[in-house]
Amino acid sequence: MPLDTADYTYRIPGQTGDWEIVVGLEVHAQVRSKSKLFSGASTEFGAAPNSHVSLVDAAMPGMLPVINEECVAQAVRTGLGLNAKINRFSRFDRKNYFYPDLPQGYQISQFEFPIVGEGEIECERDDGSRFTVGIERLHLEQDAGKSIHDLDPNATYVDLNRSGVALMEIVSRPHLRSPGDAAAYVRTLRTIVRYLDTCGGDMEKGQMRADVNVSVCKPGAYEKFRESGDFSHLGTRCEIKNVNSLRFIQQAIEYEAQRQIDLLEDGGKVIQQTRLFDANTGVTRAMRSKEEAHDYRYFPDPDLLPLKLEEAFIETLKAGLPELPAEKRERFVSRLGLSEYDASVLAADKDRADYFEKVIEGRDAKLAANWVNNELFGRLNKEGLSITESPVGPQQLGKLVKLIEEDVISGKIAKEVFEILWDEGGDPEAIVEKKGLKQITDTGAIEKVVDDLIAQNPEQAAQVRDKPKAMGWFVGQVMKATGGKANPQAVNEILQKKLLG
């Protein structure tokens, strides 16, 4: 990966000069599947507490896990989407620790042999520039249940609905160099898993959460690390657990980097530890240090056989993959002739891209992109609505674009129609018909208006002959006389002919 693709400009000034940051993320993405990783219980969100709990999830004596093939397929699809190596051999290990929301007393995870190995994704910043991030691995593991501490001052309640739901832990290389890039990376991941339909990606529902590893270093150190792979060039890292929004990820990194810099500049040392981010105060605080860290006593789960994937299984999944955002963007540019910018904006979100592709069925893509990106997204942003909540559907917008394309209405009239669609709904053609908004393309009719105007305004007509720019006045008058319905191009041509001869 060329180093110049990372965000280099991010520097934190300190008393001892500038500092840089190095960030790596472990993103936990809930696998979209009907049932859990090792049991048949439903994964549905929002059900009554403890209503989706099988005997296996509750760790009843003698219960055994059985792998859910769909979760394996989802992990492989995701791995393919991350351009990563799919490991034909992987294995489940037990990660042992005690907690009431962990009924087995261990989490079944993949420690030594993950199902997906190294990969790489291209991420995009808000300004459209791009950078690549290395993926170290993706592994499957069970989610824990939920401890509820605030129902009763003297008791903790446990909801096991989430216990055993499949998670994909996606581990990045420490390739992120700014809070913004970290957020952009997570956003890109979310786009990819949504495209693949392997994870809902809804961070508010906990479908995606990130553990953020942050360290700071002086300029030049990171390049040495990248050249040698030697982590000793980097600062000591702290891991911020379970951050659940893009904004919080950025805030947590900013705070944590500053904390480390202050510490170092005061002559202190960063201690490797696990920290928690408090979204209310914007502060991270220590959870446990390396010395207090759990000894998870990983060992191969003897209840499960190693996972061996057939090449054909992987090939079938590969063949069934949908088009991914990067491919879509490229197609939008090369096949539809969109600008890089329009293509990026449209491809960055699956719902938007789907909407757009419905709009352009049989229409001019560039014009459609313009309408979707400017008129529709502009209006949606203003109203704070998402694309799926748009009052104007893709078929309606598509028809509107077609009307423009076929010169039935002008762009200006189209905006009026769009307003009507937004407020009242309806069929664009019917609206145009009913309100008499059809463009006048009958040159005879336009000529008559022009002739009348010239006859009534001989002075202005004479002016135009000396100063062709003054023709604009006539255009305005024609439009006024026709209620804006005259085809602008036809008006121009006729005026040219009549006035300049």
Q: Say which DSSP state 361 is in.
A: T
Rounded Cα–Cα distance for residues 351 and 186 (Å) = 18
Using DSSP, state whether 382 is helix, strand or coil. Answer: helix
- Contact between 470 and another protein by CB under 8 A: the answer reads no
Which one of the spans 301-309, 327-335, 377-385, 411-419 is the region binding another protein (CB under 8 A)? 301-309
- Binding status of residue 444 toward another protein by CB under 8 A: no
- Cα(76)–Cα(344) distance, integer angstroms: 26
Indicate whether 462 belongs to the interface with another protein (CB under 8 A): no
The only residue of 13, 46, 62, 153 in contact with another protein, by rule CB under 8 A: 62
Residues 404/410, Cβ–Cβ less than 8 Å: yes
Nearer CB in complex with another protein: 63/475: 63
HEC string for 112-131: CCCCECCEEEEEECCCCCEE
What backbone phi and psi angles, to 5 degrees, belong to 208?
-135, 130
Question: What letters, b where the CB count within 10 A reaches 16 and e where it falls short, cover 304-322?
Answer: beebebeeebbeebeeeee
Beta-strand runs (E) in 181-221? 208-217
Complex with another protein: residue 47 or 60, whichever CB lies closer: 60
- Assigned token pair, 352: 């938007």
The verdict on 302 binding another protein (CB under 8 A) reads: yes
105 binds another protein (CB under 8 A): yes
Q: Could you say whether residue 158 binds another protein (CB under 8 A)?
A: yes
How many chain residues bind another protein (CB under 8 A)? 28
Q: 98, 204, 424, 444: which one contacts another protein (CB under 8 A)? A: 98
- Angle of CA points 351, 356, 362, to nearest 5°: 145
With binding defined as CB under 8 A, does residue 306 bind another protein? no
Closer Cβ to another protein, 299 or 341, answer by number:
299
Tokens of 40: 């048949």
Among the listed residues 106, 131, 248, 332, the single contact to another protein using CB under 8 A: 106
149 vs 469, beta carbon nearer another protein: 149
Which residue carries 């994964």 as its tokens? 43
Shortest separation between residue 305's beta carbon and another protein, angstroms = 6
Q: Which stretch binds another protein (CB under 8 A): 176-184, 221-229, 291-299, 346-354?
A: 291-299
Question: 210 - beta bridge partners?
Answer: 27, 243
Q: Facing residues of 275 across strands?
A: 240, 286
Query: How many Cα atoms occupy the beta-carbon half-sphere of 391 within 13 Å?
Result: 15
Contact between 112 and another protein by CB under 8 A: the answer reads: no
Residue number, 205 or 297, with CB nearest to another protein = 297
Contact 181, 125 (CB under 8 A): yes
- In the stretch 36-55, what mask flags binding to another protein with x, by CB under 8 A? -------------------x
Q: Binding another protein by CB under 8 A: which of 112, 197, 303, 389?
A: 303
Torsion angle defined by CA atoms of residues 251, 253, 259 and 264, in that order, rounded to the nearest 10 degrees: -160
Q: Which is nearer to another protein, 148 or 321 (CB)?
A: 148
Among 47, 64, 279, 430, binds another protein (CB under 8 A): 64
Binder of another protein out of 285, 297, 480, 497 (CB under 8 A): 297
Helix runs in 48-92, H state only: 69-81
Phi, then psi, of 88 in degrees rounded to 5 = -65, -25
The minimum distance between CB 155 and another protein, in angstroms, equals: 11
Contact of 96 with 296, CB cutoff 8 Å: yes
Closest to another protein by CB, 147 vs 395, is 147
Q: Which of 1, 12, 59, 148 binds another protein (CB under 8 A)?
A: 59
Any contact of residue 155 with another protein (CB under 8 A)? no
Closest contact distance (angstroms) between CB of 89 and another protein is 16
Minimum CB separation of residue 219 from another protein in Å reads 36
Q: Of 3, 60, 271, 286, which lies in the binding site for another protein, with binding defined by CB under 8 A?
A: 60
**103 touches another protein (CB under 8 A):** yes
Q: Which stretch binds another protein (CB under 8 A): 102-110, 200-208, 343-351, 410-418?
A: 102-110
Number of Cα atoms under 13 Å in the Cβ half of residue 272: 8
Are the beta carbons of 201 and 32 closer than 8 angstroms?
Answer: no
Residues that bind another protein (CB under 8 A): 55, 58-67, 94, 96, 98, 100, 103-106, 158, 295, 297-299, 302-305
